[in-house]
Amino acid sequence: VSEFPAPDRPAASRRGFLAAAAGAMAGVGAEFALRNSADAATTNVPTSRPAESTVEPFFGPRQGGILTPLQNHTYFAAFDLTAAHREDVVELLQTWTTAAARLAAGLPAETISKDIDQPAADTGETMGLPPSRLTITFGFGPGLFIKQGKDRYGLASRRPPALIDLPAFSGDQLVQAKTGGDLSIQACADDPQVAFHAVRQLSRLAYDSAQLRWAQTGFLPSFAKGQTPRNLLGFKDGTNNPATTNSAAMEKFVFIGDEGPAWMRGGSYLVMRKIRLALEHWDRMNVKFQEQTLGRQKYAGAPLNGKNEFDAVDVNAVDKDGNAIYPDTSHVSLANPANNNGARILRRPYSYNDGVNFTSERWPPWRQGMEYDAGLLFISYQRDVRSSFVPMFDKMSKLDMLNQFATHVGGGFFAIPRGVSEGQWIGQGLFEKV
Ligand code: HEM
């Protein structure tokens, strides 16, 4: 499906777009179910590739990009609202919804006119590219509801209690200019240019009402179907996620139920943390120490108490002499549900690489010099951070052996509204009179 003008083909009509998009989406729905069930036995990370379609559905009770099998690339952007009035925010969200649905279907952001005396309705860098399983996930930060004590849009009383101001955590080195935001957009796609393009179009359409605060690219390896991607520490990451095919677990741990306002039911809460990893330091550690730090075997990806990647984690396991197998301060030990009142989160992590920087390490041997500015974009979805991410990370930030190698330098916390059906716009219920 392409609406870009081609010499031999007139631009498709709006009706053509809707039919094409609906067709593509219906096809994807059926295929999607099949794909997920085929994978359920082998992996807990959403890893599979579509056979025929490169379109992920935009419309539905849940936003795309949460349960969607991981795409290879992400472009995450946070915006500050500059709009003076509530109506301008409504208009922005309406425009964004329409454009995002088009982009996900592989269409230009808006219908292209042949009038070359006007700026183009789409910047054009995805001409000729497939939709690449693009998903666009919108989020609302605390600043949409109240900012510096000001109720700019009359929404303060509608702020969900679960959208807390995250506490400061031990060791946080968050750079303010790269933290927070009133709105977030995460574009994920199998092609980096498709992901960048999506954010660029939405940012362009927001010219008069919001501006970019920070943005971050991330990537994953081109892992084979059924495999778990490795992060820059060289470890498989995502193995012990709750399975996205387990809808009971997703309802319990990820999606908002009756406890939330109607516009959030079927939505979630997103924590994003940009975590710099001291790769030079890590690379000098022996493998056994790395395994003790994370609480996982490096090569097999198996738990310390098992042999194969998907063997069950038992953080209380002991060896034949009765000694604990997991250090109390290993990453997995601190993160496991057994030590978190059963809490679970759905991680959807990407790696990032921002080149090199002059860096002073925070841990022995306190190296100073040019080091990688690379690491992990920790992205997690959970139903309520107050009983999951916050207590879990509070403990980790103080005790995790991984802290010697990890510095949190930015990120944000966003309410992810429920998905929309055609004709609706993102966050609509939040703005409607009760
Ligand atoms: C420093 C950056 C981080 C890296 C490199 C990292 C890496 C890993 C790896 C390799 C695993 C084991 C494989 C797996 O089950 O996925 C894991 C597990 C896990 N991580 Fe992280 N992680 C990081 C930060 C975090 C943070 C900030 C949290 C949440 C507060 C977190 C929560 C979890 C959870 C819940 C598990 C599963 C534990 C289990 O039950 O087995 N991680 N992580």
Tell me the per-residue pLDDT of 46-70, one tens digit each, with 9 for 90 and over.
444 444 479 999 999 999 999 999 9
C-alpha 380/C-alpha 393 separation (Å) is 12
For residue 32, the model assigns a pLDDT of 29
The protein residue with its alpha carbon nearest to ligand 1, atom 36, reads 335
Q: What is the pLDDT of residue 8?
A: 37
Give the residue whose CA is nearest to atom 35 of ligand 1.
335
> Of all atoms in ligand 1, which is nearest to the CA of residue 338?
40
Burial class (CB in 10 A: 0-12, 13-18, 19+), 388: buried
pLDDT given for residue 189 in this prediction: 98
Which of 331, 388, 395 maximizes ligand 1 atoms within 8 Å of its Cβ, making it the mutation to test the pocket?
331
Q: Is 385 in the pocket of ligand 1 (CB under 6 A)?
A: no
The strand pair at 346-347 and 210-219 is best described as: unpaired
Q: Residues 294-316: pLDDT tens digits?
A: 999 999 999 999 999 999 999 99
Looking at residue 225, what is its pLDDT?
Answer: 76
Query: 129 C-alpha to center of ligand 1: Å?
Result: 34
Helix, strand, coil % over all residues of the chain, rounded to 5: 30, 20, 50
Query: What residue's CA is closest to ligand 1, atom 39?
Result: 336
Using CA atoms, how far apart are residues 348 and 74, in angstroms rounded to an integer?
Answer: 11
Count Cβ atoms below 10 Å from residue 413 Cβ, excluding itself. 23
* Residues with pLDDT less than 70, the chain: 1-52, 434
Closest Cα to atom 16, ligand 1: which residue? 238
Residue 233 in contact with ligand 1 by CB distance below 6 A? yes
What is the number of the ligand 1 atom nearest to the C-alpha of 405?
1
Ligand 1 atom nearest residue 345's Cα: 35
Residue nearest to ligand 1 atom 32, measured at CA: 335
Ligand 1 atom with least separation from CA of 376: 2
